[in-house]
């Protein structure tokens, strides 16, 4: 069993790496891939915790058989029903027909709609405990992190938290599987923030509620459904998820613009230069028509200052900027400083639409928006400098 990885004496890691998929949820780029993590607890009773995406089921089942031999699986604990984790349920049930599916009522409504199962359930409630022999599992309802049925399973015996998507990350596990075996800051931090902000961020208030539910639990190991297993420094990943779900940011600025003919882009460059002259070192500029929304959201989650620019397009914003602002409104992103700028050739509309975004979001506008006709000149650039100086002043407070 040269490929067997153990979390502890009776707990096995059964994850697979996906280096083929380009877009997670057919939407979010994952250039560094993703792992789908499942776990097997081989006690007097055998429990599987979540499964994996459909594509790798054969290897997955082989690996389970390699560990269990003739033994069967008694329980499948479904912490989360999204297909990247439920994709192999059907194959598992086919191979182990006496298995009991463990989940809450919301889980089973989704299970039934996906698989039609009605009589192999074992429905649990918040706080229900399940004795496997040596391990005692406790179920903690943490709904809307990020689906309605999401829950976590805490192993009271070894203090392992099977956390579902929470505390997860994009990025495959290339040899190193545990936090003490990887260079987290170099290889995972940015992917983890992008995963959090893109997938879970909208439900940040529910993440905070989940933290309150977990308060008092002495968590020694965190086994998420994606990314590394945390056993050396669980507080690091808890700190990051707590920070991101409170919308706590760094003192930097991301400038994102939509520009058809380069006029709005020129203003972005001037604002960035003036910010730099004011001592701001963390500055990123993105063209919303080129950089995927996923990365724009990631930098907005990272930096306190957000400066948005758009040319006019059909009396509104450039559609790529409209997509960004609509997504941010939908996500309910909080607590940013905002600057607005843009340009037009005839009747405007880009900056006016950005201002409506400001009104909807209630982010603090650091100074008046700048809207210029045609190619920006000294007057427009001077106004851009006002935005940069105001933003820098606010960040230095
Ligand atoms: Fe990794 Fe929400 O599924």
* Superfamily designation of domain 250-396: Flavodoxin domain (3.40.50.360)
Instruction: State how far the Cα of 282 lies from the Cα of 253, in Å rounded to an integer.
Output: 6
Q: Is the pLDDT of residue 272 over 90?
A: yes
Q: Rounded distance, CA 34 to CA 22, Å?
A: 10
How far is ligand 1, taken at its centre, from the CA of residue 79, in Å? 10
Domain limits, the chain: 5-245, 250-396
194 lines ligand 1 (CB under 6 A): no
Our measurement of the distance from residue 87's CA atom to the centroid of its chain's CA atoms, rounded to an integer in Å, reads 20
CA of 272 from ligand 1 middle (Å) equals: 37
Q: How confident is the model at residue 1 (pLDDT cuts 50, 70, 90)?
A: low
* Average pLDDT estimate for 69-88: 97
Does the beta carbon of 225 sit less than 6 angstroms from any atom of ligand 1? yes
Record the pTM.
Answer: 0.96
Q: Is 226 in the pocket of ligand 1 (CB under 6 A)?
A: yes
**Contact (Cβ atoms closer than 8 angstroms) between residue 153 and residue 137:** yes
Start-to-end CA distance of the chain, whole Å, equals: 58
Let me know if the fold of 5-245 is the same as that of 250-396: no
Model pLDDT, residue 337: 98
Q: How many residues does the chain have?
A: 397
Tokens 């056993």 belong to: 231
Backbone angles phi, psi at 388, to 5 degrees: -60, -45
- In this predicted structure, the answer to whether residue 360 has a pLDDT above a threshold of 80 is yes
The mean predicted confidence, pLDDT, of the chain is: 97
Tell how far the Cα of 165 is from the centroid of ligand 1, in angstroms: 5
| 356: CB partners within 8 A, 6+ apart | none
- Name 259's Cβ contacts closer than 8 Å, sequence gap at least 6: 265, 268, 287, 289, 309, 310, 311, 318, 343
When pLDDT is averaged across residues 225-239 and rounded to a whole number, the result is 98
18 lines ligand 1 (CB under 6 A): no
What pLDDT shows up at residue 118? 87
Which of 124, 116, 185 minimizes the C-alpha distance to 153?
124
Q: Give the residue-averaged pLDDT of 282-303.
A: 98
Does the beta carbon of 320 sit less than 6 angstroms from any atom of ligand 1?
A: no
Report how far ligand 1's centroid is from the alpha carbon of 82 (Å). Answer: 5
Decide: 50 in ligand 1 pocket, CB within 6 A: no
pLDDT at 2: 59
Q: How far is the CA of 24 from the centre of ligand 1 (A)?
A: 10
Q: Which atom of ligand 1 is nearest to the CA of 146?
A: 2
Average pLDDT for 204-220: 97
CATH 3.30.1370.160 fits domain 5-245: no
pLDDT band of residue 116 (cuts 50, 70, 90) is very high
What's the rounded mean pLDDT across residues 266-285?
Answer: 98
166 CA to centre of ligand 1 in angstroms: 9
What pLDDT score does 68 carry?
A: 97
Does the beta carbon of 82 sit less than 6 angstroms from any atom of ligand 1?
Answer: yes
**What is the pLDDT averaged over residues 246-264?**
98
Instruction: Report d(CA 51, CA 53) in Å as an integer.
Output: 7
pLDDT for 397 beyond 90: no
- What pLDDT was estimated at residue 56? 74
Q: Is the confidence at residue 26, as pLDDT, over 90?
A: yes
* pLDDT tens for each residue of 152-196: 999 999 999 999 999 999 999 999 999 999 999 999 999 999 999
């Amino acid at each position: 069993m040269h490929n067997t990885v153990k979390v502890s004496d009776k707990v096995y890691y059964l994850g697979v790496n996906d280096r083929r998929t380009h877009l997670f949820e057919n939407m979010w780029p994952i250039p560094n891939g993703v792992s789908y993590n499942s776990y097997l607890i081989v006690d007097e009773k055998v429990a599987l915790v979540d499964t994996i995406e459909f594509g790798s089921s054969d290897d997955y089942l082989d690996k389970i058989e390699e560990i269990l031999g003739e033994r069967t699986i008694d329980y499948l604990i479904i912490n989360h029903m999204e297909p990247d984790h439920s994709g192999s349920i059907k194959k598992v049930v086919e191979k182990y027909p006496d298995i009991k599916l463990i989940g809450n009522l919301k889980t089973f409504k989704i299970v039934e709609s996906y698989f039609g199962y009605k009589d192999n359930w074992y429905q649990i409630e918040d706080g229900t405990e399940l004795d496997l022999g040596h391990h005692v599992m406790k179920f903690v309802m943490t709904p809307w992190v990020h689906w309605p049925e999401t829950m976590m399973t805490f192993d009271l015996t070894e203090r392992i938290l099977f956390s579902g998507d929470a505390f997860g990350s994009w990025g495959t596990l290339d040899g190193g599987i545990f936090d003490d075996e990887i260079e987290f800051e170099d290889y995972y931090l940015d992917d983890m923030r992008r995963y959090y902000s893109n997938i879970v961020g909208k439900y940040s208030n529910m993440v905070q509620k989940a933290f309150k539910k977990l308060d008092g639990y002495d968590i020694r190991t965190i086994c998420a459904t994606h990314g590394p297993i945390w056993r050396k420094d669980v507080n690091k990943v808890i700190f990051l998820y707590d920070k991101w779900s409170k919308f706590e940011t760094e003192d930097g600025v991301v400038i994102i613009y939509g520009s058809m003919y380069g006029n709005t882009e020129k203003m972005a460059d001037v604002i960035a230069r003036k910010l730099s002259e004011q001592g701001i070192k963390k500055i990123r500029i993105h063209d919303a028509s080129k950089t995927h929304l996923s990365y724009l959201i990631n930098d907005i989650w990272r930096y306190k200052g957000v400066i948005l620019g758009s040319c006019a397009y059909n009396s509104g914003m450039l559609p790529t900027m409209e997509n960004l602002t609509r997504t941010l409104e939908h996500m309910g992103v909080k607590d940013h400083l905002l600057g607005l700028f843009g340009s037009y050739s005839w009747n405007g509309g880009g900056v006016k639409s950005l201002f409506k975004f400001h009104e909807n979001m209630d982010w603090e506008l650091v100074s008046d928006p700048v809207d210029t006709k045609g190619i920006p000149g000294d007057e427009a650039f001077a106004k851009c400098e006002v935005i940069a100086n105001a933003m820098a002043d606010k960040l230095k407070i």
